[in-house]
């Protein structure tokens, strides 16, 4: 099974710099929308229409920019479950386009399950845990995510 495709979009006009290339922050916006889509896959709310009363907050993100992306390019995000515990979900998003095998960017993220009534952190409900286990099981044979666990430093 391929990695889960969580989001697909053309690169929009408000997202590019004066050279017509996707600006660094907007790669992360695309990954943010992918996280919203992932939430719905595990029974959480990505917006105020939801009824679960729970959501995911981003605690931490690491992003590697691998290739430039031009205005209008159709891109999509694949999402891999790296791990999870009672309250936290560790995911790996990668950005892709047609006709290009390498990822355009990759982002490792740590997400916290939150009860919006607080808001305060809260354990995942049974249904979310089952859905997460199902996703992880389906991804068992995927190669390990390339840019996980990186430490940033100058070379040499």
Binding site for its own copies (CB under 8 A): 17-19, 23-26, 28-29, 31-32, 47-48, 57-65, 83-85, 88, 90, 108-110, 116, 148-156
Question: What Rg value do the Cα atoms of the chain yield, rounded?
Answer: 16
Half-sphere exposure of 95 (CA within 13 A, CB side): 30
Structure tokens at 85: 């515990």
Q: Which of 142, 24, 26 is nearest to 7 (CA)?
A: 26
| Cα 138 from Cα 130, distance rounded (Å) | 12
Nearest distance from residue 91's CB to its own copies, in Å?
A: 10
Looking at residue 151, the DSSP 8-state letter turns out to be -
Structure tokens at 10: 């053309």
Nearest distance from residue 41's CB to its own copies, in Å?
A: 18
Nearest distance from residue 128's CB to its own copies, in Å?
A: 16
In the complex with its own copies, the residue whose CB is nearer, 1 or 105, is 105
In the complex with its own copies, the residue whose CB is nearer, 2 or 155, is 155
Nearest distance from residue 85's CB to its own copies, in Å?
A: 5
| Cα 106 from Cα 97, distance rounded (Å) | 13
In the complex with its own copies, the residue whose CB is nearer, 88 or 97, is 88
In the complex with its own copies, the residue whose CB is nearer, 24 or 137, is 24
In the complex with its own copies, the residue whose CB is nearer, 64 or 73, is 64
Nearest distance from residue 33's CB to its own copies, in Å?
A: 9
Q: Which of 17, 37, 99, 32 is nearest to 63 (CA)?
A: 32
């Amino acid at each position: 099974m391929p990695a889960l495709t969580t989001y697909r979009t053309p690169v929009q006009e408000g997202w590019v710099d004066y050279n017509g290339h996707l600006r660094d922050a907007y790669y992360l916006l695309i990954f943010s929308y992918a996280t919203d889509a992932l939430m719905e896959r595990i029974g959480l709310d990505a917006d105020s229409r939801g009824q679960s009363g729970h959501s995911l907050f981003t605690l931490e993100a690491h992003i590697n920019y691998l290739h430039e992306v031009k205005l209008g390019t159709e891109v999509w995000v694949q999402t891999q479950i790296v791990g999870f515990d009672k309250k936290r979900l560790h995911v790996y998003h990668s950005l892709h386009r047609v006709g290009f095998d390498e990822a355009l960017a990759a982002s490792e993220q740590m997400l916290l399950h939150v009860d919006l009534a607080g808001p305060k952190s809260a354990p995942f409900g049974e249904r979310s845990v089952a859905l997460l286990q199902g996703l992880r099981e389906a991804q068992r044979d995927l190669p390990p995510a390339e840019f996980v666990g990186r430490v940033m430093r100058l070379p040499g």
